[in-house]
Amino acid sequence: MVSSGWTKGLLISGSFLCVVGKLTALVGVLGFLFQFFSTHTVVWLIGCGFMSVVIGLAMSIRAFGRALIDIGERLLQFDGRVCPDCGYPLRGLCVDPIVCSECGASYSEQNLRQIWRGWDIVAKIERRSC
């Protein structure tokens, strides 16, 4: 990617405008709320909004972690021979290229190793020849 001074300037000014836009919207929303509701109600609404963001974030992190654990367990169970596209086990398919019987995606043994490379250490995969 070419990163010229012009591009950097555009990115910085775009980011600045994005932040300014969000702050302006926040001030506008707060002004609207304070105009029609009491201070206690606005504080309560802001608290509810903040808590919903925190709860949503926690649930997303938990779901992401669970998905990572599922991938690791599946890779461990099938010695790293899992289709990267659909998660279907490729065990017993000893041809090159390996074609997933579930989704039809094809991978060479080397390509498959390269895709799951980072997981070898995490899931302690011991690759066996077929």
Q: Does 102 bind Zn ion (CB under 5 A)?
A: yes
If the CB atoms of residues 49 and 104 are measured against Zn ion, the closer one turns out to be 104
Find the distance separating the first CA and the last CA of the chain, reported in whole Å: 41
Q: Does 100 bind Zn ion (CB under 5 A)?
A: yes
Contact (Cβ atoms closer than 8 angstroms) between residue 108 and residue 96: yes
Q: Does 103 bind Zn ion (CB under 5 A)?
A: yes
If the CB atoms of residues 18 and 103 are measured against Zn ion, the closer one turns out to be 103
Residue 71 identity (one-letter amino acid): I
Residue from 88, 111, 113, 115 binding Zn ion (CB under 5 A): 88
Residue 37 CB contacts under 8 Å (≥ 6 apart), including other chains: 45
Shortest CA distance to 78 belongs to which of 127, 29, 24? 127
Residue from 75, 83, 98, 125 binding Zn ion (CB under 5 A): 83
Binding site for Zn ion (CB under 5 A): 83, 85-86, 88, 100, 102-103, 105
